[in-house]
Structure 1
Amino acid sequence: MEYQAALEQFYKKLGKKKIMALATSLNDHVTVRNVSCLIYDKRLFFKTDKEFRKTKQLIANPNVAICHWGVQMEGTAVNHGLVIDEPEQKFQTLYEKYWKTSYTAYPHRDTEILIEVVPRFVEIWDQDENDRGFQLMIDFDQQTAEKIDYD
C-alpha cells in the first residue's frame, strides 16, 4: 500500500477525538491509563497535569505507546508546555467542544501541559468490505506502509 494512502486511512480511523490507552515506562516499570485525545492537523494531542506520575514518566522516557480499538501507535511524547500558553488556543477550543465535562472540571489550570504523541510506527487491525481481516503497518521513519491479509 502507498504510504500517503495509509496515512489517510490512519487519520480517518482516528477521527477527531478518542479516549486512548497511553502506556509509559520508566526503569522497566510500565503503566497504562486512558487519556482524552484530540486529533487535528494530522497530529495527536492530550493534556495532563505536569505533576502526574505519567507526566514524570514520559518526560524521563518519552517513548510511549497509545491505542484505541484496532489502532496501535508507538511514538515519542513531546511536551509543548502549558495548554494555556498554546498559540491560537486550538487545543483548548477543541477540548471545550469535544470534552466539555472535562473542560469545565479542569479549566485553564496553570499546571496542565500539552503533550503531542509523534508516531514512529502504527499497526492497524481492520476488516475490508468483505469482512476479511488485515493489518496495516505504517513506518513513519521509513515512510513505508504494508497491508498484510490476516487469516
Structure 2
Amino acid sequence: MNFLEAKKIMDEKLGDWKIMALASCVDNYPMVRNVSCVFYNDKIYFKTDKNFRKTQQLFKNPQVAMCFNGVQVEGKSVNKGLVVDEPGRIFEKKYKEFLWQSYNAYSHVDTEILIEVTPEFVEIWDEDQDRKAFQIFIDFKDQSVEYKPYD
C-alpha cells in the first residue's frame, strides 16, 4: 500500500465532516473534547471561541491529536483568525451545509475563530473482509505507510 492509497482510506473514513475528539495538553494537563470538523485542502478545520479553555491551550501548545471511529490524527493546529475572514469563506459554506444547527446557533459570534489542523501522523484501526484486524500508519512528513496485521 502506498501513501496515496492509505490517504484515500483515511479520506473515505472521515468523509466531508465528522464530530471528532480533540486532545490537547499544556503543562502536563491534558484535555479532550468534541469538535465539529470539516475536511478540505488535506486538512481538518473546526471553529471555536477564542476565549475557551481549549483554545487557550492550542495557543500555548499547537500539537493535537484527534480521533473518530478508529482514525487517530496527530498534527499541528494553527489559528487562522475569524471564521468570517477566511478567503473564499470555504469553512463557513461547508459548515453551514453539513452542520446547519450549530452554524445557525453560533456562527454569528465575533469571537469565533477558525482552527486548521495539518495531519502529521495518522493511525487507522480497521478489519478486513474476514474480520481480521489491522493497522495502517501514515506518516505525512515522509509520505510513508506501514500496514500491520493485528493478531
Q: TM-score, normalised by structure 2?
A: 0.97
Q: 1:130, CA displacement in angstroms?
A: 2.1
Q: 1:78-89 counterparts in 2 under 5 A?
A: 78-89=78-89
Q: 1:13, CA displacement in angstroms?
A: 1.0
Count of residues paired in the alignment:
151
Identity %: 52
Q: Whole-Å Cα distance in 2 between the matches of residues 32 and 2 of structure 1?
A: 31
* Structure 2: stretches of 5+ with no match in the other structure: none
Q: 1:89, CA displacement in angstroms?
A: 1.0
Aligned-residue Cα RMSD (Å) equals: 0.9
* SS at structure 1 position matched to 2:103: helix
- Matching residue's letter, 1:79: N
- Matching residue's letter, 2:70: G
Q: 1:128, CA displacement in angstroms?
A: 1.4
TM-superposition CA deviations, 1:12-32 (whole Å, max 9, x none): 111011010000111010000
The residue number in structure 2 matching 1:95 is 95
Q: TM-score, normalised by structure 1?
A: 0.97
TM-superposition CA deviations, 1:57-110 (whole Å, max 9, x none): 011100110001100011101111100101111111111111111111112321
The residue number in structure 1 matching 2:114 is 114
The question of whether the paired residues in 2 share the 8 Å contact of 1:24 and 1:63 is answered with yes
The question of whether the paired residues in 2 share the 8 Å contact of 1:136 and 1:145 is answered with yes
Q: Please list every run of at least 4 consecutive aligned residues from structure 1 whose deviation after the TM superposition is greater than 6 angstroms.
A: none
The residue number in structure 2 matching 1:6 is 6
* Structure 1: stretches of 5+ with no match in the other structure: none
